[in-house]
A and B are shown apart, each in its own frame.
Chain A
Amino acid sequence: MIRFKKTIFIFLILFSFDSVFAGVNDTIILNGEVARKLSDYGFFEDLVSQHPSKEVLPYELITPLFSDYADKLRFIYMPSNGLAEYRPNEVFDFPEGTVLIKTFAYLNEHIESNLDKQLLETRLLIKKDDKWKNVSYVWNKAQDDAFLNIAGKTISTQFVNNEGNIQNVRYRVPNINQCKECHQSGKTIRPIGPKARNLDKDVAYEDGVMNQLKKWHKQGWIKEGIKVQAMTDWTNTLASMNSRARSYLDINCGHCHIKGGSADTTGLYLDFTENRKIHLGVFKKPIAAGRASNNLTYSIVPGDPDSSILFYRMQSLDPGIMMPESGRALEHKEGTELIRKWIKNL
């Protein structure tokens, strides 16, 4: 009797996997319209625990963008036989049908707390017709699926901060136009994170630890032997202050503050490859800062963070002053501290 039940149970599991979970749905990805809900795509074997399907691989960045202390779960799906071309200093040129999947959440796992984990939104960048399409899905109250969001959404919530205290936050899900603010290059949209230089690190996969670029090669996704100057993990206190700060500025600021980016009008360029001091902000007067200058004269005054507009705007919470302009309602204390020390030592 018991054995019988067990068989049925196993059978049911197999059956349910077979019928409910059929893997990634390429038809929906390449369809003209985006799906209404996240589950339609089949990226996850278990949506709630964010356990990806077999064809979907988690990925990590050496230094990530700060988004109000949200945890980010990143995944990539590439269609079979697809090959991503390496582009120096840019993101890979991914094949048609690639999807970058990023779930924003407050996992509240790092310190023991009473707060449950909360999935906020899952953003997709879908490569279709040689263009990237951006779309966001907001998780429902029941936390069992996420639904298409067009106009953005405010999620007023709480999380456990690094000191173990409860922190209120007005988390903003960006609307599709706001996604473009950061993701635009000229007239087109492109991903920010998955540049080879920001992926060149070891990652713990289910079948063991492996360098991410090697793993992608093993998957048949990229060619072998890509050599890059890897970015620095901004939290790595063994690395040089300069490389940590430049990596941090690159991923947090350099997507807009770069030729062709949203902030290129300013002439302040903060991407990893910029090496002209004036364009990095050293003794550079602001162009259109308005009151965000805080009566200071230069973007960066070496040795004097408190006289540097860049540092001031990174600390501010005023929407007319703060940098980045969107995607943050809180100060990234650890990040601004790094920049403070960096400017101090310039």
Chain B
Amino acid sequence: MRYLKQFKFILLSSIVSINCYGAITSISPSDDPYSAIQEALILAQPGDVIHLTEGRYELEDSLSIDVHDIILEGEGLYKTVLSFKNQKSGAQGLSVTSDGVILRDFAIEDAKGDAIKVKGVNGISFIRVRTEWTGGPSSDNGAYGLYPVESKNVLIDSCVAIGASDAGIYVGQSENIIVKNSRAEFNVAGIEIENSYYADVFDNYAANNTGGILIFDLPDIPQQGGHHIRVFKNKSINNNTDNFAPEGNIVGEVPRGTGIIVQANSHVEIFDNDIGDNETINIAVVTYGYETEDKNYYPHPRAIQIHGNRFGKSGYNPDLETGELAKFLFEITDGDMPDIFWDGIVPIHQIILGQPDEDKIVLGDNGEATFLTINGLKYILPFFDPIEKSYDKFRGNIEPLSPVKFSDPL
């Protein structure tokens, strides 16, 4: 019976519409949307389009795509809604493990784990896709909304990510990444680029998260040493939602009211952004704060350039409860929080001999923004004030990073 049904499916879809791009299978909400969608995703051939008409699809099991170069599309990110409110199995809403897949114009709501996980692919496009936990911020929400990992040539364009208990848009251990025109709200981290190479994050709106945009690098995982990340023309504002990440997760350390954090990456350029109304700090550049025995791991940020940003107010209501960062900063500054903070931590030999020029943090024009760092040598020695507030001391020539280019056309 099932076999017949599948056969009918192929027959129908191939009769209905064969064009030069492949077959279009159109699916509408039904009693058993899981079988209809999943069968179509499995039986699809490269080039095919699976089209989900407007409506709500109630799904109990997670969906997966493992066919190269197919398109899964809906009719709009508020019109075609895949709801996993009653999910009974599977750790994601949707997972993708094949190259060149395009996801567009639909939403994944209330997945029990991550909303859309894409692992180990070359080429993935999220276009006008929404992932949302509809009950608002809660530690019971899934970790990630849009979650490409170990992938190359990642495009996230005009997406919406709301309510993730870790990061709304999270790109991990990947290479050649563009995240643009997207909106991330009410997540712990709005947009997070972690352990990744060559990313352009621009024209995004990150608001009402705990932290707006995070550029992180962590030890003890396969790809590390994140580098060449450009963060520009974004709005990272009003990220004042209390941290609701379950403890144990690294983003659980992010204080409420953070605009941008760069941690342990190299070659990061932050420019032309609007960053403000963040209660703790607008930009923090920090070292990975835990001990690790990973010998390949470099815990300190290097070659970070910050210029041409427009800063609104920050530091006026710092979150002293979450993590170490805000509390430490608040104590050493007596509450006079800077716009831009660099923790100044470098390897021991650099404390004495100084940092190589190419590793230094470089500030360009950032309007009236204030800066603060800790001088490691003075911190160790008695009777010295380790606090360094001189902006001009870190002013330097900006060497723009190159735009991201995909190695294969998407």
Which residues from chain A sit less than 8 Å from chain B, CB to CB? 36, 147-152, 154, 170, 172, 175-178, 180, 184, 187, 259, 262, 264-267, 278-279, 284-298, 309, 318-322, 325-326, 329
B172 at the interface (CB under 8 A from A): yes
Not counting A176-B42, A278-B293, A287-B250, a sample of 12 additional A-B residue pairs whose C-beta atoms are within 8 angstroms of each other reads A151-B34, A172-B61, A184-B97, A289-B143, A292-B143, A293-B248, A294-B248, A295-B247, A297-B247, A325-B90, A326-B90, A329-B88
Is A290 a contact partner of B90 (Cβ separation < 8 A)?
A: no
A294 touching B246 in the complex, CB below 8 Å, given contacts A172-B89, A265-B222, A320-B91: yes
Partner of B39 from the list A151, A289, A295 (CB cut-off 8 Å) is A151
Residues of A within 8 A of B172 (CB): 265, 287-288
B274 at the interface (CB under 8 A from A): no
Of B61, B112, B147, most buried by chain A (CB within 10 Å of CB) is: B61
Which residues from chain B sit less than 8 Å from chain A, CB to CB? 2-3, 6, 34-35, 38-39, 41-43, 60-62, 64-66, 87-91, 95, 97, 111-114, 119-120, 139-144, 147, 149-150, 165-166, 170, 172-173, 218, 220-222, 245-250, 290, 293-294
In the bound complex, CA of A322 to CA of B90 (Å) = 9
Residues of A within 8 A of B61 (CB): 152, 154, 172
Partner of A320 from the list B39, B65, B113, B119 (CB cut-off 8 Å) is B113
In the bound complex, CA of A265 to CA of B97 (Å) = 14
Residues of A within 8 A of B34 (CB): 151
Partner of B221 from the list A147, A180, A287, A319 (CB cut-off 8 Å) is A287
Min CB distance, B152 to chain A, in Å?
Answer: 13
Is B142 a contact partner of A291 (Cβ separation < 8 A)?
A: yes
Residues of A within 8 A of B245 (CB): 290
Residues of A within 8 A of B41 (CB): 177
Residues of A within 8 A of B142 (CB): 290-291, 320
Min CB distance, A146 to chain B, in Å?
Answer: 12
A329 touching B89 in the complex, CB below 8 Å, given contacts A151-B39, A290-B113, A290-B165: yes
Partner of A284 from the list B64, B139, B220 (CB cut-off 8 Å) is B220
Of A147, A180, A287, A291, most buried by chain B (CB within 10 Å of CB) is: A291
A175 touching B64 in the complex, CB below 8 Å, given contacts A287-B221, A290-B113: yes
Is A297 a contact partner of B248 (Cβ separation < 8 A)?
A: yes
Min CB distance, A333 to chain B, in Å?
Answer: 20
In the bound complex, CA of A151 to CA of B112 (Å) = 20
Partner of A319 from the list B2, B43, B112, B249 (CB cut-off 8 Å) is B112
Is A290 a contact partner of B38 (Cβ separation < 8 A)?
A: no
Residue of B nearest to A325 (CB): B91
Residues of B within 8 A of A267 (CB): 220-222
